[in-house]
Structure 1
Amino acid sequence: MQAQELVLRDVHVPPAPSWWPPASGWWLAAGAIALVFAILWWVGRQRRRRKLAWQKLFDDACGDAAPAAQVAAISELLRRAARRVNKQADSLQSEDWLRLLDGQKQKAFSEGVGRMLLEGGYRREVPTDEFAAAKALARVRFLELMAGRK
């Protein structure tokens, strides 16, 4: 047996695994990430649509009526929106109603142009600059209340 020498051959290492195609776990992770992004996009789209619908509701309610009628419509819309945050919003009157509209951060309704909501619907003449400021303030607060923010 010594006559036969053992023939040694090099050890062949298998080729390194390629990076493509990835393992099935990576496909699942990529699919989960894509699903999360799709859900976030859909939720954002729904929120934008809802906000646009609320803006349209506010603008349609005001319409082209006289400022006094618009003040009454704005007050009614704000009462409806306030019910989403506070169930007793219907029963609030005068200063209590304005304090609810003020929320937690400002006093624009009880001490500012928002006071027009109390008597503006009963006036014959409503100053246009004061009305425009009150309408813009009411629109912002309406959108906040519809979104459920106090």
Structure 2
Amino acid sequence: MTENQNESLLPLKSLHLPEMPSWFPLAWGWWASLAAVLIAVLLVWLFIRWRVKRMAPKKTALRMLANTKEPSSAIELLRQAALCYYPREDMAALTGKPWYVFLDRQIGKTLFERNQERWQQALYSREPIEDAQELVEHCVYWVENALPPQKGGVRRG
């Protein structure tokens, strides 16, 4: 019986399997996906770079204000920080009461205008004033909360 079984089999050749498909060249969908990922990474990198550059004056001002004890130095740092974000032509005209009103409008509190006399004494008097550290803290608060400005720039009454 075993001989008959061997004779009944047809003389077939062994199976030929096709070659495995290769990964390369990639289909257009993979190239489009790769391009989309690269563009997304580039946009995220550009946004982060823009944000770091935009926040640099604020961080510098806060770092310098941390080492400042004199209100006159603090208000000067505050003006320099504001000049980094607001138009120079708007900032140059602000002195005295309009300057303090501008500062208060940016934070929505009256920290500067109500202390206008103390600020003037700190800026123009040789005698030290009491609670000078409080005025410096007002400057720190302003930089933390007003910079960078929201869209629209200078807030007007």
Does TM-score exceed 0.5, indicating one fold? yes
CA contact (8 A) 2:69 2:133 kept: no
Distance 1:148 1:126, change over 3 A: farther
Q: Aligned-pair distance for 1:130?
A: 1.3
1:9 corresponds to: none
2:79 corresponds to: 76
AA at the equivalent of 1:74? L
Q: Aligned-pair distance for 1:127?
A: 0.9
Cα distance between partner residues in 2 of 1:113 and 1:36: 49
Cα distance between partner residues in 2 of 1:147 and 1:55: 20
CA contact (8 A) 1:102 1:109 kept: yes
CA contact (8 A) 2:71 2:132 kept: no
Match of 2:39 among 23, 32, 35: 35
Distance 1:44 1:79, change over 3 A: closer
Q: Which string of whole-angstrom CA distances, capped at 9 and with x for unpartnered residues, describes residues 12-67 of structure 1? A: xxxxx9xx98621342233123312322223213422542454225534x475541
Cα distance between partner residues in 2 of 1:75 and 1:28: 49
Distance 1:113 1:78, change over 3 A: farther
AA at the equivalent of 1:96? P
AA at the equivalent of 1:80? L
CA contact (8 A) 2:58 2:143 kept: no
Structure 2 length normalisation: TM-score?
A: 0.56
Cα distance between partner residues in 2 of 1:138 and 1:149: 15
1:138 corresponds to: 142
Structure 1 length normalisation: TM-score?
A: 0.58
CA contact (8 A) 1:113 1:130 kept: no
Cα distance between partner residues in 1 of 2:135 and 2:106: 23
CA contact (8 A) 1:114 1:134 kept: no
Distance 1:71 1:114, change over 3 A: farther
Unaligned runs of 5+ in 2: 1-20
Counting matched residue pairs gives: 132
Aligned-residue CA RMSD in angstroms? 4.1
